[in-house]
A and B are shown apart, each in its own frame.
Chain A
């Protein structure tokens, strides 16, 4: 009987949409700039920032291309391919 209750509870649980992960966010940014990525999420993310507020993110797309995403201190985003 308990198992039945658990099953019913799981059945009526709402399917919630998850928030965007950093890997998905980077992949979306790469694709928004018109670069091919081959999938919704990147891997091998490396992030570094200098003291002036500029950020550099390097990540590999599912299609094997590695990209560098530069975020300036003013919030400007640019993407360039590394390989």
Chain B
């Protein structure tokens, strides 16, 4: 009977524990996704295996430097011979291997504007009215681009338009808090979205 009496309390405590666990897991996921975004954007991956090698080489270099200071009688030739391989090794480690970088960073996934539009239409993270409001904003943006083009002042106002576009993009990303995958894909495809919005209609 006692257990029955305290069962709601137990349930509540389990819920609190579950929420706390979810809260702990979120920052880690965010970190991982940020790293992924940086990798995909720059095409550069952080080679974690290279770090210990670099440390090892720097240690070797330090040892070599101490040796050279301890033996001042040694000739210049021998000193050059000693330090040369270490320097070469350090340069080789510092220089990223192009083949490994290409293998590790496969590049951004192929996502078309049509796919993103469909996903934006289907997502449950945004309500119907909000979707209509976003659509209105995008249509207004396209109209202003067209009017600038007709007046021949698009290039002069490109920066202003880009600022408006960035603001609109930020609003959409903020609204997509409950659909992080779509938010990430839109962020990655922002340049192609910008190009498709400002390209001249034939």
A and B physically associate: yes
Q: Quick one: given A7-B11, A15-B22, are A77 and B125 in contact (CB under 8 Å)?
A: no
**CB-CB contacts below 8 Å: B6-31 with A:** 7, 10-11, 14-15, 17-19, 22
The segment out of B83-91, B128-136, B155-163 that lies at the interface is B128-136
Q: Which residue of the partner chain A has the closest CB to B178?
A: A17
* Contacting pair A77 B132 (CB below 8 A): yes
Q: Quick one: given A3-B4, A7-B10, A10-B14, are A24 and B135 in contact (CB under 8 Å)?
A: no
Interface size class of chain B, counting residues whose CB lies under 8 Å from the partner chain: 20 to 34
User: Secondary structure at chain B's binding surface: helix, strand, loop or mixed?
Assistant: helix
**CB-CB contacts below 8 Å: B88-135 with A:** 124-130, 132-135
Contact indicator per residue, chain A 1-32, by CB within 8 Å of chain B (1) or not (0): 00100110011000101011110111011001
Tell yes or no: A52 within 8 A of B by CB: no
**CB-CB contacts below 8 Å: B128-160 with A:** 128-130, 132-137, 139
Interface size class of chain A, counting residues whose CB lies under 8 Å from the partner chain: 20 to 34
